[in-house]
Amino acid sequence: MPTEHRPSICLAIPFFRQHYDFTCGPASLMMAMKYLDPGMCLNKDLEIDLWREGNLAAVPGTGRFGLAYSAAVRGFFARVTSNTGGLDFVDMFVPQTGEPDMQMLKNMVTERRIRCRRLGVRERQETISGETLRRVLFSNHVPLVVINSLYVSAEDVPHWITITGIDDQFLYFNNPSDARRRKRKITLAALPEFVGYRGVQSMVEVWKQ
């Protein structure tokens, strides 16, 4: 029986390389915002501003509510998705975090979540599948997702990337830590293991009306 053909899509999302180890989230968001608003200027100052707004304190990276907040206050629409509804990937990444740091992290996530809700950021809990990403892309929304950096480097750390397209066989993405600035791809068969960090999935989709 022939395989059903699925429509393909490729968004012309510009590349921006992160300047610091901890700014993959801001760099990924900057690519999305530049695609949606070509007049936006991308530079290190914006990269650091986005990081300041969305960092997780207990670890230097950024979480889904922080990135969504940064998008929303700049006039974009955003939705956050997680398969757990929890604290992004932090409790998986830093299981040794002490109680004071973990409590501060929880407080920060709660504060950013409240700010997001006030700005109209939508939130849902579901598994992020190929169909999820296909639906987002065909809505002309740009999905940012967390993966394990082992797929693109030698480090076992959570890492934000910008999804740019999908077809019958592959998912395409921009990796902000890629020095060669090439468009990357992964097979759809590998998607369940690719999206997420140690089983915890986080996504921010950004769009403009």
Task: Write out pLDDT tens, residues 87-124.
Answer: 877 666 555 556 777 787 888 888 999 999 999 999 99
The segments of the chain whose pLDDT lies below 50 read: 1-2
DSSP assignment of 117-151, as one string?
A: HHTT-EEEE----HHHHHHHHHTTPEEEEEEEGGG
Q: What's the CA gap between 159 and 177, in Å, rounded?
A: 9
What is the reported pLDDT for 95? 54
Tell me if the pTM is above 0.85.
yes
Gyration radius of the chain's alpha carbons: 16
Q: What's the CA gap between 158 and 197, in Å, rounded?
A: 6
Tokens of 13: 């999302």
Tokens of 207: 């769009």
What is the reported pLDDT for 181? 81
What is the reported pLDDT for 94? 56
